[in-house]
């Protein structure tokens, strides 16, 4: 748990965002269905009023895991 707190520190935030963007871009480039499926997943999360509990970045990473595995 200590590493999770350390990785979310303000000085590491640009690095994490860069890593996140690269991962999402790679998943979207490899599969054209990634973007519409991710939008649908984000709509599902919002429709079930889970947006306060599940950040958009997490939904994107979950969808990237589905499309890359």
pLDDT tens digits along 21-61:
888 898 889 999 999 999 999 999 999 999 999 999 999 99
Strand intervals (E) in the chain: none
66 near 36, Cβ under 8 Å? no
Please tell me the pTM assigned to this model: 0.73
**Confidence band, pLDDT 50/70/90 cuts, at residue 14:** confident
Between CA 22 and CA 33 the distance in angstroms is: 17
Please enumerate in sequence order all residues whose Cβ is within 8 A of that of 41, keeping only pairs 6 or more positions apart, or say none: 59, 62, 63
pLDDT at residue 1 tops 60:
no
At residue 38, the pLDDT reads 94
More confident residue, 51 or 13: 51
């Amino acid at each position: 748990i200590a590493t999770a707190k350390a990785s979310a520190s303000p000085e590491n935030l640009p690095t994490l965002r860069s890593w996140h963007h690269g991962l999402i871009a790679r998943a979207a480039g490899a599969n054209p269905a990634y973007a519409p499926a991710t939008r649908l997943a984000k709509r599902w999360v919002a429709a079930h009023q889970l947006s306060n509990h599940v950040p958009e970045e997490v939904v994107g990473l979950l969808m990237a895991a589905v499309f890359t595995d």
